[in-house]
Amino acid sequence: MKFSTIILVALRQINEFVAHNGVAPIPNPSAPLPAGQDGLKLSNDPAHPFITPGPDDLRGSCPALNTLANNGYLPRNGVGRPDQIVTAVMEGLNLGNDFAKFLVYQAFLMNSNPLTNLMSIGMKTPLTGQDPPKPALVGGLSQHGTFEGDTSMSRVDAFFGDPAAFNQTRFNDFLSFATKYGANGTYDINATAELRFERPQDSIMTNPQLVFTSPRILSAYSEAVFPLVYFVDGRLNNRQLTQDAGSSFFANQRVPADFHRPPAPVSFEIIEPMVNQIFTKHPFTPGVNHGRNNYVLQPKTPALSDFCRIYGDIVLRVVPGQYPKPTCQLKDALNKNLGFFYDTVKFQHNCTQAFPYDKY
């Protein structure tokens, strides 16, 4: 098919979609929690009871979002708007507003349906509406090779099975690293540094198709420190996650009884030095396996320390990979979300804004 024909077909699909469904309005991102309401608080409160997810409820690769859905901070069916997800992680776990938006809009650009403004926290689902034209994936957070990637702490690499499903064997390693390296058997910064280093070493030896490049390296390293920040009871707030609390979040996907969120919103300024600390202890270079134990360095992929280039990689390579030439309402929706995403990186990192489509 000629390129112009592809564009016309895509345009027609979007127009038909819009004629049938309309385009969902895109609300502005949620504001920070108001002063005075952003402190220590019981997360497992009567308004947020744990309910075991039903067979049609979607859950995926993120233990935090799964837990927040099981406790009703997120829609229990596992499909939500970005502003709902930002609010849920602020309310339930006291993520700082800019950091919450950074995670959510990043995921949203790779995994959602921009026309309906909906994303699955699990696998692909018709609940996010009719897909925009391919190569858009609208795969949900479980879509491998987008936000989800190899070397997870509690999931297997995609080569070995479902990379979004909790894996007890993997998680047993998490617990044994806490026992071996952490203060009093907790998952602390030392256990984190060792486990985060061991995971790619293990995958290099066993997974012939390992991919450990941008943007996955950033999420892998950030997610490694999240548990000792956001899963530790805010009354202690000592960056030492007990194995019981860890098991509640990871294995049972349930806010522990009497759990209080951190006493103040936690954002880039706390997460990034911790990421830096574990990276400095055991540096690595991004790469991919060409067969088992054949790790080929990828000098063109941004390094973990190069935040602005990782931002540029997402915006100029990953997003246009799914939306090469968006038109009309689809382009407007993407541009709006790209703007929200950029807003979260500009003050913190002073990155130059990247425009995959027209300047807007």
Q: Does 226 bind ligand HEM (CB under 6 A)?
A: yes
Segments of 284-347 assigned E as strands: 287-289, 295-297
Distance (Å, rounded) from C-alpha 252 to C-alpha 168?
11
Whichever of 222 and 335 has its CB closer to ligand HEM, that residue is 222
Q: Which is nearer to ligand HEM, 152 or 203 (CB)?
A: 152
Q: Give CA–CA dist 335/147, Å, rounded.
A: 19
Q: Name the DSSP class of 297.
A: E
Instruction: Output the CA–CA distances (angstroms, integers) from residue 297 to 26, 146, 284, in the order listed.
Output: 40, 20, 10
Taking the complex as a whole, the smallest distance from the CB of residue 265 to ligand HEM amounts, in Å, to 11
Minimum Å gap between C-beta 20 and ligand HEM is: 28
- For the residues of 125-185, what is the DSSP string, one character each? -GGG-SPPSTT-----TT-BTTTB-SS-SSS--GGGS-TTS--HHHHHHHHHHHHHHSGGG
Q: Is 149 in the site for ligand HEM (CB under 6 A)?
A: yes
231 binds ligand HEM (CB under 6 A): yes
* DSSP type of residue 47: T
Least Å from the CB of residue 156 to ligand HEM? 9
* 36/130 Cα distance (integer angstroms): 41
Residue 91 Cβ vs ligand HEM, minimum distance, rounded to whole Å: 11
Nearest to 85 by CA among 69, 70, 98, 71: 69
Contact 222, 271 (CB under 8 A): yes
> Which of residues 58, 74, 79, 95 is near ligand HEM by CB under 6 A?
95
64 binds ligand HEM (CB under 6 A): yes
At residue 334, φ and ψ (nearest 5 deg) are: -65, -45
Choose one: 63-71, 253-261, 267-275, 283-291; the region binding ligand HEM (CB under 6 A): 63-71
Could you tell me the smallest distance in angstroms from the CB atom of residue 63 to ligand HEM?
Answer: 5
Instruction: Report the nearest approach of ligand HEM to the CB of residue 219 (Å).
Output: 6
Among 10, 14, 33, 62, binds ligand HEM (CB under 6 A): 62
* H/E segment holding residue 275: helix 268-281
Q: Assess 147 for contact with ligand HEM (CB under 6 A).
A: yes
For ligand HEM, the binding residue among 122, 182, 227, 302 (CB under 6 A) is 227
Q: Is residue 265 near ligand HEM by the rule CB under 6 A? A: no
Nearest distance from C-beta of residue 220 to ligand HEM, angstroms: 7
Can residue 61 be called a binding residue for ligand HEM (CB under 6 A)? yes
The two three-digit tokens of residue 356, written as one number: 């995959």
Residues within the interface to ligand HEM (CB under 6 A): 61-65, 85, 89, 93, 95, 100, 103-104, 107, 141, 147-149, 152-155, 219, 223, 226-227, 230-231
